[in-house]
Amino acid sequence: MRTNQYANFPKDFLWGGAIAASQADGAYTVDGKQPNSSDVQPYLKGLSNEEIQFLEKQGMTVAMVKEGLADTTHFYPKRHGIDFYHTYESDLELLAEMGLKAFRTSIDWSRVFPNGDENTPNEAALAHYEKMIDKIRAVGMEPIITMLHYEMPINLTLTYGGWTNKAVISLFERYGKCLLDRLGHKVKYWIVINQINMIQIEPWLSLGICKDQYENMAQAEYQGVHNQLVAVAKVRAYAKTLDAELQMGTMVADGTVYPYSCRPDDVVLAMQHNRMQYFFTDVQFRGEYPKFAWNYFKENQISLEVTEDELQLLRENTMDYLAISYYFSQMVDATKNTNKADAITPNPYLEANPWGWEIDPQGLYNSLSQYWDRYQKPILIAENGFGMYDKIEAGKIQDDYRTSYLGDHIEQVGRAIYDGAEIIAYCAWGPIDIVSCSSQQMSKRYGFIYVDIDDEGNGTRKRLKKESFNWYKSVIESDGAQL
């Protein structure tokens, strides 16, 4: 380990870890659960990482969704996860041994309201999640709960057309109120919707819309996120009637970019690209749509259905804190890219992991600083981690590559705090191995704890501490002073 030159973490800093129900819970047919958006994503054996990621970005058609529901040929990893639904007690005890002060996970909408449009919730699901949260608290962790992390009931896609349909706003509001009524006295920190800005990168998981359901997909995407913004504001408004101290956060995946060069065209494109990433949080912290966003919609033939009542709701219900996920930085070249979110260029100065995710610790410092300067709102790092193939050798997993990555990034978090940013938590993604969101692979591992399951669901399910387990334990014990 080494000394952190930016060991500026407050004594009440929440050192934690984060997972998602959609990637960990499993128990696909247990307690009345119905399929959600993550449950129809198969593992496609034999494809390269590049091919897997290409297919992920293509989204889903209605036929693909229906085929996935009926398919008995392929393996669907997220239906099984690591069986956290049944093993959460022992897994949480193992994580507590590492010293975690916070644990972020999500509640599966397709358990609580299995089809999304029921009038009454599923009591079995609520009872389960209440017991899970009680366990999180019992082992000394602060629960950070996400209401929606890619677990949208499939029925809301097939019957309603996903988030683009305004009817989904009230359905989600019912769900959010249900969670707050049942669990609001046990959970202080809520993230309403995971990575609300990922609509152009993964519209299927983000919005539950199929690419053949709408003629103008760009309009469908931005209408869908507008409806999400309204739903989040409604849930936030209700939370404050229950308890003004409840902390309601919004979350984005950091999508800001560097210019490829100091060439003015590159600098301006990077600025425009970043503006349309800040647009989501501008609405949720400043309470209104920025003019550049309306210009973008007009220039791209996007016409949103927005009411004055909705705009007033957004003005009156800005969020309490910002949660971000950060894994890599991005760059744009005006000769090759546009200001669309996924139009980026590889950075020649950075190394990448096997999935092409470029490693840039200073990019985290840059992003945290920019968000703080723009909003002056508390920041919670909801995800930061290093996916890699791990090998068991002589009964051990030596994952120095993971501790190196995390140590370098934690140092930059301290640097941002040193410069004045109020950062309240750091949640390493995922502290125990789970199924990869983007690739459906179990072999793309992030954890401090190895779970013996392969990409096709084979294995003993046994848990094994990696070398990084004790490393993160020491980081927490030293409040980030030792990396």
- Cβ neighbour number for residue 307 with a 10 Å cutoff: 10
Predicted confidence at residue 55, as pLDDT, reads: 72
Name the nearest CA neighbour of 427 among 26, 238, 207, 149: 149
Kindly tell me if the per-residue pLDDT of 49 is higher than 80: no
What mean pLDDT comes out for the span 378-396?
Answer: 97
Predicted confidence at residue 43, as pLDDT, reads: 92
DSSP calls for 67-90: HHHH--SSB-GGGTTT-HHHHHHH
Where is 8: in which H helix or E strand? none
CB 217 within 8 A of CB 192: no
Kindly tell me if the per-residue pLDDT of 341 is higher than 90: no
AA letter at 45: K
Kindly tell me if the per-residue pLDDT of 40 is higher than 80: yes
Kindly tell me if the per-residue pLDDT of 72 is higher than 80: yes
Predicted confidence at residue 385, as pLDDT, reads: 97
Kindly tell me if the per-residue pLDDT of 126 is higher than 90: yes
Q: How do strand 463-465 and strand 449-451 relate by DSSP bridges?
A: antiparallel
Predicted confidence at residue 449, as pLDDT, reads: 98
Q: What is the spatial distance between Cα 119 and Cα 153, in angstroms, rounded to a whole number?
A: 15
Q: What is the spatial distance between Cα 147 and Cα 110, in angstroms, rounded to a whole number?
A: 11
CA 372 to chain centre: 20
Q: What is the spatial distance between Cα 111 and Cα 113, in angstroms, rounded to a whole number?
A: 6
Kindly tell me if the per-residue pLDDT of 56 is higher than 90: no
AA letter at 480: G
Kindly tell me if the per-residue pLDDT of 51 is higher than 90: no
Q: Which neighbouring-strand residues pair with 18?
A: 104, 429
Predicted confidence at residue 8, as pLDDT, reads: 85
Predicted confidence at residue 194, as pLDDT, reads: 98
For residues 52 and 159, the model is more confident at: 159
Kindly tell me if the per-residue pLDDT of 334 is higher than 80: yes
Ramachandran region, residue 457 (left: φ > 0; alpha: ψ -120 to 50; beta: rest): left
Kindly tell me if the per-residue pLDDT of 227 is higher than 90: yes
Tokens 């990696």 identify what position? 466
AA letter at 75: F
Helix 217-242 vs helix 167-183: crossing angle, to nearest 10: 30
Looking at the chain, the whole-number percentage of residues with pLDDT higher than 70 is 100
Q: Phi then psi for 228, rounded to 5 degrees?
A: -65, -45
Predicted confidence at residue 205, as pLDDT, reads: 96
Confidence at 288, pLDDT banded by 50, 70, 90: very high
Kindly tell me if the per-residue pLDDT of 116 is higher than 90: yes
CB 107 within 8 A of CB 147: yes
DSSP reduced 3-state for 357: coil
Q: What is the spatial distance between Cα 138 and Cα 132, in angstroms, rounded to a whole number?
A: 10
For the chain, give the mean pLDDT. Answer: 96
Supply the CATH classification number for the domain 14-257+270-331+357-477: 3.20.20.80
Kindly tell me if the per-residue pLDDT of 167 is higher than 90: yes
Confidence at 53, pLDDT banded by 50, 70, 90: confident
For residues 201 and 87, the model is more confident at: 87
Looking at the chain, the whole-number percentage of residues with pLDDT higher than 90 is 93
Tokens 């202080």 identify what position? 188
Structure tokens at 159: 């019957």
Name the nearest CA neighbour of 113 among 56, 182, 59: 182
Residues whose CB is less than 8 angstroms from the CB of residue 90 and which lie 6 or more positions away in sequence, other chains included: 463
Q: Which neighbouring-strand residues pair with 258?
A: 331
Kindly tell me if the per-residue pLDDT of 188 is higher than 80: yes
Give the CA-trace dihedral at 9, 192, 133, 18, to 10 degrees. -50
Name the nearest CA neighbour of 136 among 92, 95, 106, 100: 92
Kindly tell me if the per-residue pLDDT of 48 is higher than 90: no
